[in-house]
């Protein structure tokens, strides 16, 4: 059985950048909803004890009757774990160490990386996610549709931003750009650095 992880901060912890009501609904209704549907799909199958990463890595080999649900609900579960745990009320302005070096190598600098991430997140059509991933020896920025996970494509996710409307509509309505810009205030760069080291 897959379970909803608790947040390491309170629902109002990311105010004023993400509002309490959005966080509460996002965590207890949307994220929990994906978990409920995933568990229902896996119930009584050979995959019920598989870890999330194993399911997503092996997605294409899964039988059709579970594949679509694992893509959408397993992906939804994994992406929200990464998203919620990648934010913090007390975050630093920018990463350091090897991650900063990788961003410089790939994008020319931290500001250039941010501009690229904002462009990808802002121009993604419809529901999906913007990503910073480790790909081979470098890092890459791109977006996925629905809840598609970079893990399925062999990438290690480092940072993601939910650009489904449920992630920002109550506070920002159609102003996705403002939501994206404010995201930088709450990125937990210590966490992202740790993910980079482990990847
Ligand atoms: Mn979401």
Per-residue pLDDT, 137: 84
DSSP string, 142-167: EEEETT--GGGGT-EEEEEEE-SGGG
pLDDT top residue among 91 and 140:
140
Q: Torsions phi, psi of 87, nearest 5?
A: -120, 155
Whole-number Å distance, alpha carbon 77 to ligand 1 midpoint, is 9
Order of strands, sheet of 138-145, starting from the edge strand that comes earlier in the sequence: 138-145, 128-135, 156-162
Same domain, 74 and 151: no
* pLDDT at residue 57 tops 90: yes
Same domain, 51 and 143: no
Looking at the domain assignment, is residue 11 inside a domain?
A: no
Same domain, 140 and 179: yes
Whole-number Å distance, alpha carbon 129 to ligand 1 midpoint, is 9
Looking at the domain assignment, is residue 14 inside a domain?
A: no
Looking at the domain assignment, is residue 5 inside a domain?
A: no
* pLDDT at residue 165 tops 90: yes
- CA pair distance 157, 143, nearest whole angstrom: 11
Looking at the domain assignment, is residue 4 inside a domain?
A: no
Whole-number Å distance, alpha carbon 91 to ligand 1 midpoint, is 21
Q: Could you report the per-residue pLDDT of 20-49, keeping only the tens digit for each? A: 999 999 999 999 999 999 999 999 999 999
Whole-number Å distance, alpha carbon 164 to ligand 1 midpoint, is 6
Looking at the domain assignment, is residue 10 inside a domain?
A: no
Whole-number Å distance, alpha carbon 154 to ligand 1 midpoint, is 22
> pTM above the 0.75 mark?
yes
Give 57-63 contacts, CB < 8 A, sequence gap 24+. Answer: 57/151, 57/152, 57/154, 59/152, 60/152
Whole-number Å distance, alpha carbon 167 to ligand 1 midpoint, is 5
Q: Could you report the per-residue pLDDT of 101-148, keeping only the tens digit for each? A: 999 999 999 999 999 999 999 999 999 999 999 998 899 999 999 999
Per-residue pLDDT, 102: 97
Whole-number Å distance, alpha carbon 105 to ligand 1 midpoint, is 31
- CA pair distance 80, 32, nearest whole angstrom: 10
Same domain, 52 and 133: no
Per-residue pLDDT, 136: 87
Looking at the domain assignment, is residue 166 inside a domain?
A: yes
Q: Return the bridge partners of 131, or none.
A: 142, 160
Whole-number Å distance, alpha carbon 162 to ligand 1 midpoint, is 6
Whole-number Å distance, alpha carbon 194 to ligand 1 midpoint, is 23
Whole-number Å distance, alpha carbon 47 to ligand 1 midpoint, is 24
Looking at the domain assignment, is residue 1 inside a domain?
A: no
Whole-number Å distance, alpha carbon 65 to ligand 1 midpoint, is 24
Same domain, 107 and 180: yes
Same domain, 78 and 113: no
Looking at the domain assignment, is residue 7 inside a domain?
A: no
Whole-number Å distance, alpha carbon 181 to ligand 1 midpoint, is 17
- Domain with 28, as residue range(s), is 20-85
Contact assessment for residue 34 and residue 77, using Cβ atoms and an 8 Å cutoff: yes
């Amino acid at each position: 059985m897959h379970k909803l992880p608790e947040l390491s901060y309170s629902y109002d912890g990311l105010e004023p950048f993400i509002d309490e009501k959005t966080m509460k609904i996002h965590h207890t209704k949307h994220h929990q909803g994906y978990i409920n549907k995933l568990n229902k799909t896996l119930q009584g199958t050979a995959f019920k004890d598989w870890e999330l990463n194993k399911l997503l890595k092996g997605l294409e080999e899964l039988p059709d009757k579970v594949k679509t649900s694992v893509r959408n609900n397993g992906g939804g579960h994994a992406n929200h774990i990464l998203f919620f745990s990648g934010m913090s009320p007390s975050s630093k302005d920018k990463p350091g160490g090897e991650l900063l070096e990788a961003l410089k190598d790939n994008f020319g600098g931290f500001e250039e990386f941010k501009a690229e991430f904002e462009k990808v997140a802002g121009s993604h059509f419809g529901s999906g996610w913007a990503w910073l991933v480790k790909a081979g020896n470098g890092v890459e920025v791109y977006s996925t549709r629905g809840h598609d996970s970079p893990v399925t494509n062999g990438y290690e996710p480092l940072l993601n931003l939910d650009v489904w409307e449920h992630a920002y509509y109550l506070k920002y309505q159609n102003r996705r750009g403002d939501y994206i810009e404010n995201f930088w205030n709450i990125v937990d760069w210590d966490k992202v650095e740790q993910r980079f080291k482990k990847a």
